[in-house]
């Protein structure tokens, strides 16, 4: 499956001098990663690390850069090896622990992944990363773990007086798939938003207040692109609601519509693709 990250991890290269050959390959790897060319990035970072003349300050970032490329190709064991090397060389980089948590989820090492994630949060607390990590867990079908981290993301958003409706939506969706959804408590969280703007109609649907037809009516808009975007989201999240209730045929139809209609930059597009691959 194509890997999707709800948030981009940025890695800053340490300053230092480097001899030409290794540094040129290193730069080629960075540029390849920036344009999403994983094959070239792997080749370039491998050449940089093998050159023998790459400055020491760049070596941890070369391992991390190659790991990112491996993750794009779902080569999670290779990514984990590089991230282990990166952490040995630079043990105080939160971003590397975040990435290693990603690789470990991919390899079904859930407890170890959570340890790395907690280490990263301890080094550099960032509330959006709870949402990012939960989406990684969701992508691999670990719904109870995803629901727990989405719950933490909801808590972090509330403490910052930012009740983000999409975080609530992802929490409800994950908890529903995990079988732990508390509709009454969720209704209170939605009420705290104090809004009826999109995607609140979807939240109202999850709390049992709004019918499906009403959601699609609210998704319609005079702006054609907005209407497409909101129809895409309605198809995906209602499809997930159907899956939680074992209505596989209805869910599959809705997810197929999402893949056919969603803008390709939307997370719902990529996650609907991933979900369809799991379905019979």
Percent of the chain residues topping a pLDDT of 90: 76
| Whether residue 4 has pLDDT greater than 50 | no
| 220-232 per-position pLDDT tens digit | 998 999 999 999 9
The CATH topology of domain 1-10+19-125 is 1.25.40
pLDDT at residue 124 above 90? no
pLDDT digits (tens, 9 = 90+) for 200-222: 999 999 999 999 999 999 999 98
What pTM was computed for the model? Answer: 0.74
How many Cα atoms are found within 13 Å in the side-chain-facing hemisphere of 104?
Answer: 18
**Distance from CA of residue 201 to its chain's centroid?**
23
What confidence score (pLDDT) does residue 196 get?
87
What is the percent of the chain with per-residue pLDDT over 70, rounded to a whole number?
91
pLDDT at 3 over 80: no
Residue 160 is classified by DSSP as T
- Span between the terminal Cα atoms of the chain, in Å: 15
Which one is predicted more confidently, 251 or 9?
251
- Mean pLDDT score of the chain: 89
Asked if the bond preceding 247 is cis, omega within 30° of 0, the reply is: no
Structure tokens at 195: 């809004």
Residue scoring higher pLDDT (93 or 157): 93
Reported as a single tens digit per residue, the pLDDT across 9-23 is: 434 334 344 447 899
């Amino acid at each position: 499956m194509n890997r999707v990250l709800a948030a981009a991890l940025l890695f800053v290269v340490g300053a230092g001098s480097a001899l030409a050959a290794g540094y040129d390959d290193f730069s080629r790897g960075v540029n390849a990663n920036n344009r999403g060319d994983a094959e070239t990035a792997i080749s370039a970072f491998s050449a940089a690390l093998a050159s023998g003349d790459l400055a020491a300050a760049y070596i941890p970032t070369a391992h991390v850069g190659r790991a990112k490329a491996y993750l794009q190709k779902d080569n999670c064991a290779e990514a984990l090896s590089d991230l282990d090397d990166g952490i040995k060389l630079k043990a105080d980089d939160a971003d590397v622990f975040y990435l290693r948590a990603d690789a470990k989820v991919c390899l079904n090492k859930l407890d170890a992944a959570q340890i790395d994630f907690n280490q990263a949060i301890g080094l550099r607390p960032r509330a959006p990363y709870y949402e990012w990590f939960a989406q990684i867990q969701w992508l691999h079908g670990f719904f109870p773990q995803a629901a727990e981290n989405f719950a933490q993301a909801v808590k972090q958003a509330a403490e910052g007086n930012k009740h983000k409706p999409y975080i609530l939506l992802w929490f409800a969706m994950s908890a529903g798939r995990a079988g732990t959804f508390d509709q009454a408590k969720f209704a209170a969280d939605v009420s705290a938003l104090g809004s009826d703007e999109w995607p609140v109609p979807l939240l109202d649907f999850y709390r049992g207040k709004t019918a499906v037809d009403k959601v699609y009516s609210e998704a319609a808009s005079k702006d054609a692109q907005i209407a497409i975007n909101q129809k895409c989201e309605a198809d995906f999240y209602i499809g997930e609601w159907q899956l939680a209730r074992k209505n596989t045929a209805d869910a599959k139809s809705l997810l197929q519509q999402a893949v056919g209609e969603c803008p390709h930059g939307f997370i719902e597009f990529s996650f609907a693709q991933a979900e369809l691959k799991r379905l019979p």
